[in-house]
């Protein structure tokens, strides 16, 4: 893990993980039940757009250079964790 709860004035990125020439930006959504939808359904188009903008700011701050990026969503439902890789 490179960063956790990274914040700037535009918002927050939950997790940033880096591998070999790959940076993963991960949104974590937790729900105690699926009565109001799955955790993944809470990552709306507006939230995705905001995360893309935040990723650019994070990369500028950390001077990553040319890398591949990926956006994942970690879903926590009743204590069970699942990860959707390349969610958007």
**Domain 3-84 coded CATH 3.30.1490.20:** no
pLDDT at 65 over 90: no
Nearest-angstrom CA–CA distance, 18 and 80: 24
Question: Taking residues 6-26, what's their average pLDDT?
Answer: 95
Q: How confident is the model at residue 1 (pLDDT cuts 50, 70, 90)?
A: confident
pLDDT, tens only, 29-60: 999 998 989 999 999 999 999 999 999 999 99
Structure tokens at 33: 């039940």
Residue 11: per-residue pLDDT: 97
DSSP class of residue 37 equals -
Please answer whether residues 69 and 87 qualify as being in contact, where contact means their C-beta atoms are separated by less than 8 angstroms: no
């Amino acid at each position: 893990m490179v960063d956790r709860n990274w914040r700037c004035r535009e918002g927050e990125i939950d997790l940033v993980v880096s591998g070999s020439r790959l940076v993963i930006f991960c949104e974590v959504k937790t729900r105690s039940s699926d009565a109001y939808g799955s955790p993944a359904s809470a990552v709306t188009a507006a939230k995705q757009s905001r995360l893309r903008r935040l990723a650019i700011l994070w990369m500028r701050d950390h001077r990553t250079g040319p890398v591949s990026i990926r956006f994942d969503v970690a879903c926590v439902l009743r204590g069970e964790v699942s990860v959707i890789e390349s969610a958007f």
